A and B are shown apart, each in its own frame.
Chain A
Amino acid sequence: EADIYQTPRYLVIGTGKKITLECSQTMGHDKMYWYQQDPGMELHLIHYSYGVNSTEKGDLSSESTVSRIRTEHFPLTLESARPSHTSQYLCASSEGGGPYEQYFGPGTRLTVT
Chain B
Amino acid sequence: QKEVEQDPGPLSVPEGAIVSLNCTYSNSAFQYFMWYRQYSRKGPELLMYTYSSGNKEDGRFTAQVDKSSKYISLFIRDSQPSDSATYLCATSGSGSARQLTFGSGTQLTVLP
In the complex, the answer to whether B41 meets A42 with C-beta atoms within 8 Å is: no
Q: A99-B32, A100-B49 are in contact. Are A105 and B43 (CB under 8 A)?
A: yes
- The stretch from B53-61, B68-76, B77-85, B99-107 touching chain A is B99-107
Q: How far is it, in angstroms, between the C-alpha of A74 and the C-alpha of B34 when the chains are bound?
A: 25
Compute how far the CA of A43 lies from the CA of B2 in the bound complex, rounded to whole angstroms: 12
Which A-chain residue is minimally distant from B6 (CB atoms)? Answer: A42
Q: Does A58 lie at the interface of the complex (its beta carbon under 8 Å from any beta carbon of B)?
A: yes
Number of A-B contacts (CB under 8 A): 58
The size of the chain B interface, using a CB distance under 8 A, is 24
Which residues 84-104 in B have Cβ within 8 Å of A in the complex?
A: 88, 90, 92, 98-104
A5 to chain B, nearest CB (A): 11
Is A45's beta carbon under 8 Å from chain B? yes
- The CA of A37 and the CA of B21, in the complex, are separated in Å by 20
| Known pairs A43-B88, A104-B43; A98 contacts B49 (CB<8 A) | yes
- Which residues of the partner chain B approach A92 to less than 8 Å between Cβ atoms? 43
Show the binding face of B for A, using Cβ within 8 Å: 2, 4, 6, 8, 32, 34, 41-46, 49, 88, 90, 92, 98-105
| Interface, chain A (partner B; CB < 8 A) | 2, 4, 40-43, 45, 48, 58-59, 90, 92, 98-107
Query: With A100-B32, A105-B43 given, can you name 8 additional A-B contacts, CB distance below 8 Å?
Result: A4-B43, A40-B8, A40-B105, A42-B2, A100-B49, A100-B90, A100-B92, A104-B44
